[in-house]
Amino acid sequence: MFLTQEIIRKKRDRQPLNEAEIAAFVRGVTDGSVSEGQVAAFAMAVFFNDMSIAERVAMTLAQRDSGQVLGWRDLELPGPVLDKHSTGGVGDLTSLLLGPMVAACGGYVPMISGRGLGHTGGTLDKLSSIPGYNVTPDTDAFRRVVRDVGVAIIGQTAQLAPADKRIYSIRDVTATVESVAMITASILSKKLAAGLDALVMDVKVGSGAFMPSYEKSVELARSIVAVGNGAGMKTTAVLTDMNQPLAPCAGNALEVRFSIDYLTGRTRPTRVHEVTLALAAQMLVLGGLASDVAQGRDKLIAALDSGAAAERFAQMVTALGGPADLLETYDRQLGHAPVVLPVAAPRAGVVAQIDCRAMGLAVVGLGGGRRRPEDTIDYQVGLTDIVELGERVSAGQPLALVHARDTAAAQRAASEILAACTIADADANVPPSLYDVID
């Protein structure tokens, strides 16, 4: 018999918790016998006193086991079950690209994604801009699409890691979200519940990143790799840059449109291409589908160039209720915002700095994200043709195009974009797209 207040007291007094105590606490969270106040007290104790790697593994596994755990063995898939998770950013649409790419290379990608959070866009909101696409199929349908197509991107079901959902909602309103130990358990419990063989974690660094500093991003990456591997799932983390939007666009339907253009070869800007290949190649290596990163990249480029990756994307959309001809008719299917306003550069010079978080918040302000959980999303609004760091611009040249529902909203966003971009005379210090790999 474990007394919840005794478990909280131990953590408050910096004493280690054992596996049984953590499991008992999480069971109580799931069945409701642990109160909201007790979850809040526990989260605050962890926030100040942290958890060892062993405690983090126990917390992760207990949250995984609080609900349904998907298994894939009975389907006898001829390849590994792989996934990628990102800490979130602006114009970060790599999931839409690498899921189909990895599937075309023999991997199976059951990707359970989230909605937008704060200034960051959510993969689920992007896919919801596709008419008919079902982001919440039942488990049997989800497994069937993964088996038949090789990739399915859907939302978290109520059955997967329900303890995490309750703990997260309480952390969100008690100023304990930033605990690296609890972020680790939150992310990995859902990924382990999806039955993965391997996970590649994309941890963002910079002004648009979730973590406030490079050091904190490294700390999270190391924690996720140690705990993921400790819980029996091969895990690697890649530190990637978020000092500017990753793609030259931000906004739900606009990012889907860009993703189709990328997969079909109409456009492949360097930064998106490099980051996508880096993450997807690590997935292939972890899954044993490539002997090293170089071979992984070659296979992925072949899957893009042959059209196989685009074909997997089209099959996934159709299998989940979207239009069968999306690759051909996406311009009509995804729709357009009625107002498009160029944001003119106030002077000539070099784009020296971009406040990436402010760019994301401008999209939220247009209606492309949520201020409150119950808000509805305007899928067509957002930004395109966003300038890059280090780019030389002339006076009056567009820094971005704002896609808005009305002129007033467009002008508001335009002034936010102007404030977010710093133009200088000297050449800018452009950060690398990829910082480090932690495995």
- φ/ψ (deg, to 5) at 35: -75, 165
Bridge pairing between strands 234-241 and 109-113? unpaired
- Report the alpha-carbon distance of residue 298 to residue 134 in Å, rounded: 33
CA angle 115, 301, 333 (to 5 degrees): 45
- Report the alpha-carbon distance of residue 278 to residue 203 in Å, rounded: 13
Sign for the CA dihedral angle at 48, 52, 56, 61 comes to: negative
Tell me the catalytic residues. Answer: 83-86, 123, 171, 186, 190-191
Return the SS3 of 437. strand
- Report the alpha-carbon distance of residue 185 to residue 55 in Å, rounded: 10
- Report the alpha-carbon distance of residue 381 to residue 405 in Å, rounded: 7
Burial-class residue 307 by CB neighbours within 10 Å (0-12, 13-18, 19+).
middle
CA angle 319, 322, 328 (to 5 degrees): 110
- Long-range pairs for 298-307: beta carbons < 8 A, 24 or more residues apart: 299/105, 300/101, 300/102, 300/105, 301/277, 303/101, 303/104, 303/105, 304/101, 304/263, 304/265, 304/268, 305/265, 306/104, 307/264
Instruction: Read off the tokens for 29.
Output: 């969270």
Give the residues across from 436 on adjacent strands: 239
* DSSP-derived secondary structure letter, 119: T
- Report the alpha-carbon distance of residue 138 to residue 272 in Å, rounded: 32
Sign for the CA dihedral angle at 331, 332, 333, 334 comes to: positive
* Cβ count within 10 A of residue 328: 13
- Report the alpha-carbon distance of residue 108 to residue 78 in Å, rounded: 9
Helix (H) or strand (E) holding 414: helix 407-420
Alpha-helical segments (H) within 287-400: 293-305, 308-319, 326-334, 356-363
| Residue 116 · residue 122 · CB < 8 Å | yes
